Amino acid sequence: MDPLGNTPVFQAATAAAAAAAALQNKSDELVMPDLYEANQWAMEEGSFIDADMQRTARNNEDTGEYPRYGWVDITKVFFDSCSELNLGELAQDMLFGLFEAMSAIEMMDPKMDVGMGYNKHDAPPHTFESAVESGALKLDNFTNEELIGIFDALFACLVSWLEGNSMDQVLFTCLYLHQPSSIKDKALRYFCHAIRILIVIIKNIIIISSVNEEEDFQLYGNSSLLAVEDCQPTAVAAQLKEAEDDLVRLSKTKQQPESTMAIVHRLRFMRHFYQSIFLFDFVMASAPQESNMNEIYKNLNASLELIPQIKRSIEKGIQPIPNSDSPNPIGFSPRIHDRSQPPTFPRNVKIRDRPSSLLFLEDLVHRLKYACKIIRMRDYYSALNFFIEFSKKSGQCVLSRSVLQGLFISNRRLVFGTIPIKDFLWDSVRAFNSPPILNPKHPLIADLKIQMYLDTFFSVLH
């Protein structure tokens, strides 16, 4: 029950308004009595005020006490009314339609409303600071099994993000990504730096290429989580190489070098994969020069060679707890950002398992290698057929699709970073059927009107 519907309350508000009007009219009468008499009105003329309200206004007495609440329990009435509906029927009202019905369903669905999964006795989720203070988060002295488990969980989170899930709900459930500079273990610190900068580069590639729909990829998230730390993108590869070399030397002195080399393989894969994506972003901003493309190919091939070795050592790392939302027992707080998410997409995220995540990364590297072939297509028709074929095979991957678009048309809106689109179309038409009017030796080519028509035609095409 709406408290505004209470009659005494409405009367009280009306009385207050009438009293203020009367005071104003009295002051006006003192200054301009003739004008007041000419414009004087009787309260009875206000047809919108009934007799009871008029009496209340005249007496200037507030006879009602404002209620503190006016809620009525309608649970039984609601369920009795619902029982009269057949399956699939919807009771529609001016203030309750399909949109309100779907909102009501989503608010009580655990998959759509993360609050439904909470228990009032649950402890609040750990932040990085609280986890370190309580001793729940290690910063040093990791075992090899713990590092392997954390790295594999981060691979799974990266894949889940590329598949369209929220960055905050998958990647930044890993507390180590919040403050990598505080991590004392060199391998984990550099690995987390690489993941953080990869997020920025991948978002930049996808935004600039602009070939994704809103539901394909979550571009937005808590930007404060990506606050700049003391790490330069150009230094990440060297840092990862340094951590690799230290572990390789350490593996020669340990009794179980296999688990140490499993960490090396993951760092090495991250280094080559990072360099590939970094160079893709650089090439898309300039032009796909042969030296850069060769370097990209080399890093992608090195990444492919390392994936089988990583797959064989998945079981060496600590595994997720059964029936747990956390992808790893150490370093993750799955519900840390649940309360800060907008209710516009499903908030119960299932992170990919580790074997399928590595398979996705392997396929992604293959798709990126295939996308590099676009630089061989020197006319419109061959480029169009390549795009169609690529879309059939791997069009569902937003990153490889964005890389393909960025290699073909750079950030400067030039084909391959050097050719204006109009000139590219001109050469393509001439190569396809060689019309006489596009022949430089044709006598009409010097006609200014024909030149204007041709320029207009090719300008409209692109």
Q: Note the pLDDT of residue 120.
A: 58
Q: Is the pLDDT of residue 221 over 80?
A: no
Q: Is the pLDDT of residue 33 over 70?
A: no
Between the alpha carbon of residue 196 and those of residues 188, 255, 272, 279, 379, the distances in Å are: 12, 33, 16, 16, 38
Q: Note the pLDDT of residue 39.
A: 44
Model confidence band, residue 40 (pLDDT cutoffs 50, 70, 90): very low
- Tokens matching residue 176: 């180590």
> Which is higher by pLDDT, 425 or 46?
425
Q: Note the pLDDT of residue 417.
A: 84
| Mean residue pLDDT across the chain | 80
Judge whether 243 and 187 are in contact, CB under 8 Å: yes
Q: Is residue 66 part of a domain?
A: no
Q: Are residues 55 and 146 in the same domain?
A: no
Q: Note the pLDDT of residue 269.
A: 97
Q: Are residues 274 and 422 in the same domain?
A: no
Between the alpha carbon of residue 307 and those of residues 162, 169, 268, 363, the distances in Å are: 18, 26, 10, 11
Burial class (CB in 10 A: 0-12, 13-18, 19+), 71: exposed
Q: Is the pLDDT of residue 52 over 90?
A: no
Q: Note the pLDDT of residue 385.
A: 93
Q: Is residue 253 part of a domain?
A: yes
Q: Note the pLDDT of residue 15.
A: 47
Judge whether 8 and 63 are in contact, CB under 8 Å: yes
Q: Is residue 64 part of a domain?
A: no
Q: Note the pLDDT of residue 145.
A: 94
Q: Note the pLDDT of residue 418.
A: 86
Q: Is residue 311 part of a domain?
A: yes
Q: Is residue 389 part of a domain?
A: no
Q: Are residues 35 and 93 in the same domain?
A: no
- Gyration radius (Cα) of the chain, Å: 34
Give CA–CA dist 416/284, Å, rounded.
8
Please give the sequence-ordered ranges of beta strands (E in DSSP) within 100-204, or none if there are none. Answer: none
Model confidence band, residue 112 (pLDDT cutoffs 50, 70, 90): low
Q: In sequence order, which residues have a C-beta less than 8 Å from that of residue 364 and are 6 or more positions away?
A: 162, 397, 399, 400
Alpha helices in 116-162 (DSSP H): 128-134, 144-162
Torsion of CA 402, 403, 407, 408, to 10 degrees: -40
Cα-based angle 187, 312, 174 (whole degrees, multiple of 5) = 40
Q: 138-152 as b/e, with b when 16 or more CB fall inside 10 Å?
A: beeebebbbbbbbbb
Q: Are residues 152 and 270 in the same domain?
A: yes
Give the residue numbers spanning the domain of 432: 418-461
The closest alpha carbon to 177, from 318, 315, 328, 313, belongs to 328
What proportion of the chain, given as a percentage, has pLDDT over 90?
35
The closest alpha carbon to 217, from 74, 389, 63, 402, belongs to 402
Q: Is residue 201 part of a domain?
A: yes
Which stretch of 158-167, 265-274, 424-433 has the lowest confidence by average pLDDT? 424-433
Give CA–CA dist 355/342, Å, rounded.
31
Q: Note the pLDDT of residue 436.
A: 78
Q: Are residues 97 and 30 in the same domain?
A: no
* CB atoms closer than 10 angstroms to residue 27: 11
Q: Is the pLDDT of residue 148 over 90?
A: yes
pLDDT tens profile 384-407: 999 999 988 876 889 999 999 999
Judge whether 331 and 137 are in contact, CB under 8 Å: yes
Model confidence band, residue 223 (pLDDT cutoffs 50, 70, 90): low
Between the alpha carbon of residue 462 and those of residues 220, 258, 404, 456, the distances in Å are: 30, 56, 18, 10
Domain count, the chain: 4
Give CA–CA dist 44/125, Å, rounded.
64
Judge whether 50 and 11 are in contact, CB under 8 Å: no
Q: Note the pLDDT of residue 45.
A: 47
Q: Note the pLDDT of residue 118.
A: 59
Q: Are residues 88 and 208 in the same domain?
A: no
Q: Are residues 316 and 442 in the same domain?
A: no
> Which is higher by pLDDT, 375 or 213?
375
Q: Are residues 100 and 137 in the same domain?
A: no
Give CA–CA dist 360/326, Å, rounded.
20
Q: Note the pLDDT of residue 116.
A: 55
Q: Is residue 92 part of a domain?
A: yes
SS3 content of the chain, % helix, strand, coil (to 5): 65, 0, 35
Q: Note the pLDDT of residue 71.
A: 84
SS3 174: strand
Q: Are residues 291 and 432 in the same domain?
A: no
Model confidence band, residue 130 (pLDDT cutoffs 50, 70, 90): confident
Cα-based angle 413, 415, 418 (whole degrees, multiple of 5) = 90
Give CA–CA dist 400/374, Å, rounded.
12
Q: Are residues 226 and 301 in the same domain?
A: yes
Q: Is the pLDDT of residue 41 over 70?
A: no
Burial class (CB in 10 A: 0-12, 13-18, 19+), 48: exposed
- Tokens matching residue 37: 């008499």
Which stretch of 54-68, 347-361, 417-431 has the lowest confidence by average pLDDT? 54-68
pLDDT tens profile 156-200: 999 999 998 888 888 988 999 998 999 999 999 999 999 999 999
Q: Is the pLDDT of residue 55 over 90?
A: no
Its pTM stands at 0.72
Q: Note the pLDDT of residue 28.
A: 46
> Which is higher by pLDDT, 124 or 83?
83
Q: Is residue 287 part of a domain?
A: yes
- The mean pLDDT of 217-232, rounded to a whole number, is 72
Q: What is the DSSP letter of 409?
A: B
Q: Are residues 339 and 191 in the same domain?
A: yes
> Which is higher by pLDDT, 74 or 441?
74
Q: Are residues 271 and 237 in the same domain?
A: yes
